[in-house]
Amino acid sequence: AQKITQTQPGMFVQEKEAVTLDCTYDTSDQSYGLFWYKQPSSGEMIFLIYQGSYDEQNATEGRYSLNFQKARKSANLVISASQLGDSAMYFCAMREEKNTGNQFYFGTGTSLTVIP
Amino acid sequence: DSGVTQTPKHLITATGQRVTLRCSPRSGDLSVYWYQQSLDQGLQFLIHYYNGEERAKGNILERFSAQQFPDLHSELNLSSLELGDSALYFCASSVDRGRFGETQYFGPGTRLLVL
């Protein structure tokens, strides 16, 4: 089974609107971390937001928020007030904590296009 | 700017050749992870080093090897290159952010093209 599933290969959103990018994960661990990264066309991977499995409140970083639903094993990224510069690939990732060292898993990404 | 540096940014070489990719982690970060990103396989974990020691291996081919030096910079060596090795290679360094746990910060990547 895939550890991280992103079911939306591509998404479009109107400028200034909000958009939700879906992410579901699979783990049997109690302690894990969830991340979102942005990859613009320039290729760099930019860390956006983090949610810990024990965090009861949803993480927020500026216009980014993570809608964490533990029972459903989902960690959707919400971008409010979309800007043209938000057009990029977005990757969801999970950290599992093992005795031998943490393991990181990445989804296949969602391409977001913001329309003026 | 994540603080992680990678050189070179671009690399064009021929099949059968050998190349070395270099990564300098953020100041103070002891962990370096290497990833390969290709169009058909997404982001694949290759190998993880912590303070000079190999900690975990992912989908790394036998033709590939890596090491982390005492100054914590890391090198990824790719040999007997094939067309399918063309990809974007990232390194990421990580830090334990206390209650936030280990967080990875990525370098800008090295884009390898094998002709």
Read off the pLDDT of residues A71-106 as tens digits, 9 standing for 90 and up. Answer: 999 999 999 999 999 999 999 999 888 777 778 899
Give how far B12 is from chain A: nearest CA, Å. 17
Q: Mean pLDDT across chain B, nearest whole number?
A: 91
Residue found under tokens 């958009």: A19
Percentage of residues in chain B with pLDDT exceeding 90?
75
* Chain B interface mutation, best of A39, A68, A102, highest count of B Cβ atoms under 10 Å: A102
Under 8 Å between Cβ of A37 and A47: yes
What are the residues facing A35 on neighbouring strands? A50, A93
Q: Name the least confident of A10-14, A97-101, A107-111, B42-46.
A: A97-101
Q: Give the whole-angstrom CA distance, residue B49 versus residue B74.
A: 8
Q: How confident is the model at residue B100 (pLDDT cuts 50, 70, 90)?
A: low
DSSP label of B80: S
Contact A91 B43 (CB under 8 A): yes
Under 8 Å between Cβ of A103 and A15: no
- Please say if the pLDDT value at position B96 is more than 80: no
DSSP label of B25: P
**pLDDT (mean) for A20-27:** 97
With contacts defined as CB-CB under 8 Å, which chain B residues touch A104?
33, 45, 104
**pLDDT (mean) for B77-91:** 96
Closest CA to B66 of B95, B35, B39, B37: B35
pLDDT at A103: 82
Read off the pLDDT of residues B11-42 as tens digits, 9 standing for 90 and up. Answer: 999 999 999 999 999 998 999 999 999 876 67
Query: DSSP readout, chain A?
Result: --SEE---SEEEEETTS-EEE--EE----SSEEEEEEEE-TT---EEEEEEETT--SPPEETTEEEEEETTTTEEEEEE-S--GGG-EEEEEEEEE--TT--EEEE---EEEEEE-
Q: Give the whole-angstrom CA distance, residue B105 versus residue B91.
A: 8
Between the alpha carbon of residue B109 and those of residues A70, B23, B67, B89, the distances in Å are 33, 9, 17, 5
pLDDT at B52: 94
Q: Give the whole-angstrom CA distance, residue A95 versus residue B110.
A: 24
Closest CA to B104 of A76, A106, A1, A67: A106
Under 8 Å between Cβ of B23 and B91: yes
Q: How confident is the model at residue B99 (pLDDT cuts 50, 70, 90)?
A: low
**pLDDT (mean) for B49-77:** 93
Identify the closest residue of chain A to B2 by CA–CA distance: A46
User: Counting one residue from A and one from B, how many pairs have CB atoms under 8 Å apart?
Assistant: 62
How many C-beta atoms lie closer than 10 Å to residue B48's C-beta?
24
Between the alpha carbon of residue A61 and those of residues A48, B2, B64, B85, the distances in Å are 7, 17, 37, 36
Two tokens, residue B100: 């936030």
**pLDDT (mean) for A48-76:** 94
Q: Mean pLDDT across chain A, nearest whole number?
A: 93
pLDDT at A43: 87
